Chains A and B, each alone.
Chain A
């Protein structure tokens, strides 16, 4: 019995050491795979940069004319860190004005761009605030400022409006009131609470990851979502390419 205990302890120790070596080896392999992934991103990044410069210089024929009429409403989602650099946002808007985009929604989750609204409107030539009534100054660019409060919080406020309607529509002695729970009713309630975010055809994401980062869900049904990389290193050619690609998309809306 005394002989067996040390043997058991030794075999358990050997097992733990081989486990650690095994885990260390696996960890190294994992890091190696990630180095390969990073290299792939670097190489594709170089190709994209070269293509983007070629597009900006007008060297690629197909991007020299874009049917901008197909893009009625563009939205730009900006990562929080990027939203602090208003000058880059202004530069992006100036590029969009040059391309001929008429309507842009600017979104960041914490509403930093909303707070800088006046500064942005001042710095972007011929820009106006997009009004709910849809009156647009056709010579310039109409801007809309959106944040997370226009997403789930707005739906909660709209839900309370429907709740009040539901309470009022219920008659004593009847089980069911009028059906106030349809998409049309919720749409109308969202308009009443001031969530009048225009439905974007195309959403450009400027950030480290392709994610809509909480853009108002109700407006995203059929929006094309494209990742543009970081705002700090944004490229005009990449912007043209994304918009051009959008104009070639054909949706069947599930049919």
Chain B
């Protein structure tokens, strides 16, 4: 009797998931009648506050945050967004308590390795994964795993996932300036131009983001993509990152569609 009830619940769950997925695809079909962003960026803020709010043990907030990330990526790639960038770990975050940093690095290693699984989202959507940041600051294990994933997905070209880890914008700018100077020296050329710095920015593998969403209601960029967001529309939904959902994404995109002509006009004036 208990087994029968359990099977019924599983069946109902599956039907509800199918209905949810179908409704989502219909909604995306309607939204696609307007302009869609090519590149979306997320600051995944609020994992620790979520764990505290739900009275979970340390580290569970980040695990819940990872599930939220996978859902968001699924929605973005289903909708047809070409690039998604996420702020996974800032250089400033190294100043957190050593046990917390270690636990985050362990979680990151586990999740990076899981990207290589055959059932992972990478294979489902043909994602090319980039790890952007000062990777020399990571442990050898995490760095090696990241490089393995980048190599394994280098042939994928449908969509891109840029994971910013050991990253901050000012460091990215300094590294781009350094690379530009070293390259100029090698080529015996006189001055650095803007195009040199832009092409040496690690984020140059993708166009500038159209939308940047920071969860948990905070309104600052915290040293994320400062160079690239001059024409980006910024959103700060109050939801903590593990609570972020389809409605926040849809709201951001609908507002992007409303402002699209404003940014297009601005880009034309700059040319």
Contact = CB atoms under 8 A, between A and B. Distances in A.
A18 interface: no
B177 A162 contact: yes
A126 interface: no
Interface residues of A, number: 50
Given A155-B177, A218-B170, A255-B95, A210 B233 contact: yes
Interface string B7-31: 0000000000000000000000111
Given A162-B177, A226-B219, A253-B92, A209 B233 contact: yes
B171 A183 contact: yes
Contacts of B29: 26
A210 B255 CA distance: 11
A142 B170 CA distance: 27
Contact of A214 (B92, B230, B233): B230
Interface residue tally of chain B, by bracket?
A: 35 or more
B245 interface: no
Contacts of A125: none
Nearest to A245: B219
B194 A153 contact: yes
Contacts of A215: 230
A212 B234 CA distance: 9
Nearest to B173: A155
A71 B224 CA distance: 22
A38 B35 CA distance: 17
B213 to A, nearest CB: 11
A217 B169 contact: yes
B174 A183 contact: yes
A167 B185 contact: yes
Nearest to B198: A152
Contacts of A254: 90-93, 95-96, 222-223
Nearest to B221: A220
A153 B178 CA distance: 16
B34 A30 contact: yes
B223 A221 contact: yes
A224 interface: yes
B111 interface: no
B119 to A, nearest CB: 32
Interface string A69-96: 0000000000010000000000000000
A37 B254 contact: yes
A199 to B, nearest CB: 12
Contacts of B181: 159, 162-163, 166, 181
A255 B226 contact: no
Interface of B: 29-31, 33-34, 90-93, 95-96, 168-171, 173-175, 177-178, 180-181, 184-185, 191-194, 197, 218-223, 226-227, 229-235, 254-255, 257-259, 262-263, 266, 269
Given A217-B169, A225-B220, 12 more contacts: A30-B30, A33-B30, A37-B258, A80-B266, A80-B269, A152-B227, A160-B192, A211-B234, A221-B169, A221-B222, A223-B220, A255-B96
Interface of A: 23, 26-27, 29-30, 33-34, 37-38, 80, 151-153, 155-156, 158-160, 162-163, 166-167, 170, 181-183, 186, 208-215, 217-218, 220-227, 249, 251, 253-255
Would you list the 6 A-B pairs with minimal beta carbon distance, nearest first? A254-B92, A214-B230, A217-B226, A181-B178, A30-B33, A159-B177
19 contacts: A29-B33, A30-B31, A155-B173, A155-B197, A156-B197, A158-B177, A159-B177, A182-B174, A186-B170, A211-B233, A213-B230, A217-B169, A221-B221, A222-B220, A225-B219, A249-B218, A254-B90, A254-B96, A254-B223
